[in-house]
A and B are shown apart, each in its own frame.
Chain A
């Protein structure tokens, strides 16, 4: 298989955990709350989902458990920042530390064990094409994630619910004044974000790399947060960003296919280095950042 075919076939699956987590974070940030605990939420869900599949519970139950775990953790964070008015940056880090610890605790007896992932579903005819055929052979979660991206785009842009979430993020006082309760809406947005991070974590440990190892999320939660900035809070651009990083994470394997000799540590750092560079490039356009970013992001709401 050529390196190009390899990357085309693998990009969507590699992008899926980033995409799911970033879409959840996007909705939460659109409502005005920054959740920096994503890495921990994904790790906790990944550990629990892996255990469910390993014990024979099946993938459907694993994803449900992951989603609930992510949601519960996000609600704890929501309680701290929305009800108890805790600093969002610090509370996000705290929930991240807590969930990373819990994931290691839960997964301790399952370290380095493996399970079977999910079968690929093919699009008839298209998947037989040369080179790009692999693009049309994906597991069901990838297909659902693509549908979900579209659904979230439509929800945020074209529905009343999306308008309310955006209004709460842009101008919470005005939203409250016309009868949209800011705090409950932010709770809901965070719960949704937690669910998505949970599903992303479950995908990482039960489908994409079907094994559990402490630290296996490896910064993907943080990259997902960066993707929301890259995408300047737009669903479509977040999707493109996730694909770019998905492809990038395959670079290490692709380089071996082609036979390029580079230190593996350099290749492993590529997603982080590219994040730093792209973050600088995108953020340096101050005007576009101001236009697109969420006005009340990170600020507590006082009635």
Chain B
């Protein structure tokens, strides 16, 4: 029987190897699963992991998807390290999209060059405001932020439906649940000419830098990490737990709200249901897979964007349903979390050795 024996020091090698081990296991299990479904496994894997790199267009779409994932995951990871579990980034993203859309919806003729920057600010504030409800509930009423943020996501999605079917529905939109198309000034500037990649990728990179500075260099970041690792030590040191909750949720909401604003002002170009396409939930996987570290998240958000775009082409080339991407994502996360055991434990196979050490 294999046994896990605690290590003296955390293993750096194991923490670097864990994501690769998880990826390998995910590939093997997905192959078996796709074969069981009667799909061409090889073609499916090729589509998921290789095809996104085969044309400039699909690669640029990968970059387009990386932006919001990177941005949201950086915000969430700060909270996760402080053990504040904001799992409602999807709702904060929706609120960000709604608040940003208010400007072009109510000022459809504005040609101000400040229109899109103002939308970004409104979006970020909207996301932070939505998250602050959960922060208030946690600090004032002691209510679990896990459940409150999730419930707020479900409410946000109903609010979106209400606006799209009611007051914000485009009168000339053939009764589709969508707002008017935004004017040129409401759209984010393109970053790479000839593609849909816009400056939201820069928001993600800026968030990476900010998260790195906060967590590596600042005293506040140190307090957050200590509060997450050793809550008692943190409270003896006088670090206030309430502040960690507020900082975590506000930053998470800010990032998700900005991502939502950048979606409606970017690839979508209007407010519609497709803005709630699951970035907020995927970003949770991205944050963990990146080891909750700013640089790791750059890699994991890119990987998840590849799988998402790959999933689209697998739909065409291997007749694989979109849901397969969610399965791959779930497998990846569960294998990664299990593989992390090697960081703090070493595996001992023989029974005698186990007894000797325990």
Contacts and interface: CB of A to CB of B under 8 A. Distances in A.
Interface string A241-258: 000000000000000000
A279 B143 contact: yes
A268 interface: yes
A2 interface: no
Contacts of A84: 4, 337-341
A104 B321 contact: yes
Contact of A273 (B85, B150, B155, B338): B155
Given A76-B334, A93-B284, A265-B162, A284 B141 contact: yes
Interface residues of A, number: 51
B146 A280 contact: no
Interface in A68-101: 76, 79-80, 83-87, 89-91, 93-101
Interface in A215-274: 218-219, 222, 225-226, 229, 263, 265-266, 268-269, 272-273
A69 to B, nearest CB: 14
Q: What secondary structure prevails in chain B residues at the interface with A?
A: helix
A96 B146 CA distance: 14
Contacts of B87: 93
Nearest to A39: B150
Interface in B268-293: 281, 284-285, 288
Contacts of B331: 98
A224 B119 CA distance: 37
A101 B330 contact: yes
B142 A289 contact: yes
B323 A105 contact: yes
B330 A279 contact: no
Nearest to A225: B147
Contacts of B148: 276, 279-280
Contacts of A87: 337
Interface in A260-303: 263, 265-266, 268-269, 272-273, 275-276, 279-281, 283-284, 286, 289, 302-303
Given A93-B284, A286-B142, A263 B334 contact: no
Nearest to A86: B337
Contacts of A263: 162, 166
29 contacts: A36-B146, A76-B334, A84-B339, A84-B340, A85-B344, A85-B345, A87-B337, A89-B146, A90-B80, A97-B333, A98-B326, A100-B330, A101-B328, A104-B326, A108-B321, A214-B323, A222-B154, A226-B147, A229-B144, A265-B158, A269-B154, A276-B133, A276-B151, A276-B152, A276-B155, A279-B144, A280-B140, A280-B141, A284-B140
